[in-house]
Amino acid sequence: MTNAYGVTVRPKWRRTGNGSMYSGSGLPNKLPLATLAVSYSFFVSACYLMAFWGSFGINVFQFAGLTDFAKLAIYPVALATVGIFGGTFLQAINSTLLRGGARETGRKPPHSTFLDRASVLPALVAIALIQIKGGPNSWSFGSLLFIPFLLVLSRTEFCVRYFPGRMVRQTVVLWAALMPFWLVSVGKVDAMRIKAGEGDVWVERGGAAATLTATESSHLGYVGFVGGTYMIYEPLSNSVALIKQSDGAPLILHQVTKGERSAMPRLSIIEQFLANF
């Protein structure tokens, strides 16, 4: 930065009350946690929505407005929030009991070692696995291969500045980085359950869905409601019907009972695992 006399001056940094660093020019050196949290919430919501709706070949963002997106995002954001805060809380208790949460502020990150560089290899294997298979279990198990790389990442200066405690920092980094993978897996599983007729709600063949085809063993699946449009899965044709909301032709939903669910044909655990991989 150059002053009025043409002399280069290094900006002075000061720490604010919330822990953020600001230079004399007012430029932030560290984003507020609230900004990161909101951005992360949008990201994980998009991951779940793209996985769920993409399984039906639907780009939900073409139909969803800002209000719709906020409602659709509640479920994945709630899962991510409970997971991250729950894991962080438990790890914080563990680190307190084991005295493993010492602050590392002011320490320089350790030099890169061969093992640090090698941690990239499992992550590359995970990416290849997800690209080749792409099923829910591929995302879940593939995410575990990222753990060595994430542990190395947690030692970077950026992460240390936000979370000085080692145990808490590692937990936050792991949960925050792995949660998108798990939400993609959950979204794909939810879509597969609807396609298999195992959803919590069926659509009755009547009202707005009177023209759709269904049988006693192949029920219409309720995918969702976005932008004033019902999305209904038709298993016999393996397609999704888009029906505009109308007061004159309401959509009739049927809550699946325990008896109806127990009567559904079930795959073995091994068959389910292979089918989801």
What local confidence, expressed as pLDDT, does residue 53 receive?
A: 92
Q: Percentage of the chain surpassing pLDDT 70?
A: 71
C-beta separation of 19 from 160 below 8 A:
no
What local confidence, expressed as pLDDT, does residue 21 receive?
A: 44
Residues 99-147: pLDDT tens digits?
Answer: 544 455 445 555 557 777 888 898 899 889 888 888 888 898 889 999 9
Q: How is residue 188 written in tokens?
A: 């794909």
Number of C-beta neighbours around residue 204 at 10 A: 15
Q: For helices 166-195 and 74-97, what crossing angle results, to 10°?
A: 150
Q: How is residue 130 written in tokens?
A: 């997800």
Q: Please give the Cα distance from 277 to 171 (Å, whole number).
A: 27
What local confidence, expressed as pLDDT, does residue 31 receive?
A: 64
**Per-domain residue ranges of the chain:** 1-27, 33-193, 196-272
What local confidence, expressed as pLDDT, does residue 94 receive?
A: 61
Residue in 244, 185, 190, 184 with CA at minimum distance from that of residue 221? 190
pLDDT band at 247 (very low <50, low <70, confident <90, very high): low
The three-state secondary structure class of 209 is: coil
pLDDT band at 248 (very low <50, low <70, confident <90, very high): confident
What local confidence, expressed as pLDDT, does residue 216 receive?
A: 79
C-beta separation of 162 from 176 below 8 A:
no
* Position 109, amino acid: P
DSSP letter assigned to residue 233: E
- Give CA separation, 122 vs 65, 142, 143, 151, 244, in Å: 39, 9, 10, 13, 47
Average pLDDT over residues 57-86: 76
What local confidence, expressed as pLDDT, does residue 191 receive?
A: 92
What local confidence, expressed as pLDDT, does residue 223 receive?
A: 92
pLDDT band at 239 (very low <50, low <70, confident <90, very high): very high
Q: Which of 23-27, 40-44, 161-165, 181-185 has the highest mean pLDDT?
A: 181-185
What local confidence, expressed as pLDDT, does residue 234 receive?
A: 93
What local confidence, expressed as pLDDT, does residue 72 receive?
A: 78
Q: Which residue has the higher pLDDT, 67 or 60?
A: 60
Average pLDDT over residues 77-87: 70
Residues 27-48: pLDDT tens digits?
Answer: 345 567 777 777 888 888 888 9
What local confidence, expressed as pLDDT, does residue 129 receive?
A: 86
Q: Please give the Cα distance from 106 to 213 (Å, whole number).
A: 66
- pLDDT exceeds cutoff 60 at 22: no
- pLDDT exceeds cutoff 80 at 9: no
Q: Which of 87-91, 101-105, 114-118, 157-161 has the highest mean pLDDT?
A: 157-161
